Amino acid sequence: MNYGNKEKKIVYAYDFESAVDLTQELENDMPVYPGDPIPVFKRTKTISKNGVNLSDLNLGSHTGTHIDAPRHFFEEGTPLDKIPVSDFIGEAIVLDLSFKTVGEGISPEDLERALAKTSSSNLKVGDIVLCFTGCSRLWGRPEVNSNFTYLTAEGAKLLVSKRVRAVGIDFLSIEKFGSKTHDTHKELLAHGVFIVESLSKELERFLNQRILFMCFPIKFKDGDGAPCRAVAVPISQEGGRD
């Protein structure tokens, strides 16, 4: 036996106390994809008048930070409530794609360039990929709602080939605005890769890092999509052990 050359094991832990909310707030006059329902939030009962606070929430299924299920583009696609809840928890790599000019498409080459800069450059099967484009810094500016950075269909094909579980982006849609064919959505959703859209600018805290990502949508029966609460949990290295 070689007692002088013990192998060290690196132990990683999830730092739940440092969890960060990546969710856009739901509120009146918030940005929505042009043509989607305008959300209206109204307090219908108050403590002073009724003894309780109660609100009426009127919004589309793709309002704010939300998940697109395969049912969004495929009649026989998996609806939101049939996606296993375990799929909404997993490790993610946060790619810095803010070098792209706002309104440009993200190509396979762009993804590979961003991936090479991460602390874990190799995607594992079942990983989640989160794309920070920088458009979330411009949240609330109407001119960006129809001119934002998006993932090209070719970029989507690359991620499908790497067998990722989900893809997220920090603005209203992962698709080029005004697309008639929706090739990016269809490429991902046809292969069971669900989509998370409208992540907040807080995603920038984790550029080039691997994190634990959680995104729990409301349980909308036969749903095409639904708002979710998205959270990033840092992964810390506890150090080597014998």
**pTM of structure:** 0.92
Q: What pLDDT, on the 0 to 100 scale, is given for residue 119? A: 75
Tally of domains in the chain: 1
H helices of 65-143, in order, are 108-116
Could you tell me which of 61, 115, 128 has the C-alpha nearest to residue 89? 128
Q: Is the residue at 7 inside a domain?
A: no
Residue 11: predicted pLDDT: 62
Residue 5 belongs to a domain: no
Q: Tokens in use for 194?
A: 């669900």
Q: How far is CA 126 from CA 15, 35, 38, 93, in A?
A: 21, 33, 34, 11
Let me know if 182 is exposed, middle or buried by CB neighbors in 10 A (0-12, 13-18, 19+).
middle
Q: With respect to residue 47, please indicate whether it lies within any of the assigned structural domains.
A: no
Per-residue pLDDT of the chain (242 residues; tens, 9 = 90+): 343 444 555 567 999 999 999 999 999 999 999 999 999 999 999 999 999 999 999 999 999 999 999 999 999 999 999 999 999 999 999 999 999 999 999 999 999 999 999 976 689 999 999 999 999 999 999 999 999 999 999 999 999 999 999 999 999 999 999 999 999 999 999 999 999 999 999 999 999 999 999 999 999 999 999 999 999 999 986 544 44
**Residue 14, pLDDT score:** 94
Looking up residue 227, the CATH number of its domain turns out to be 3.50.30.50
Nearest by Cα to 225 from 76, 67, 9: 67
User: In this structure, is residue 177 part of a structural domain?
Assistant: yes
Examine residue 39 and state whether it is found in any structural domain, yes or no.
Answer: no
Query: Does residue 175 sit within a domain?
Result: yes
- The enclosing H or E element of 226 equals strand 225-241
Range of the domain at 73: 12-32+60-237
**pLDDT computed for residue 240 by the predictor:** 43
The reply to whether 49 falls in a domain is no
Radius of gyration of the chain (CA): 20
Instruction: Specify if 42 maps to a domain.
Output: no
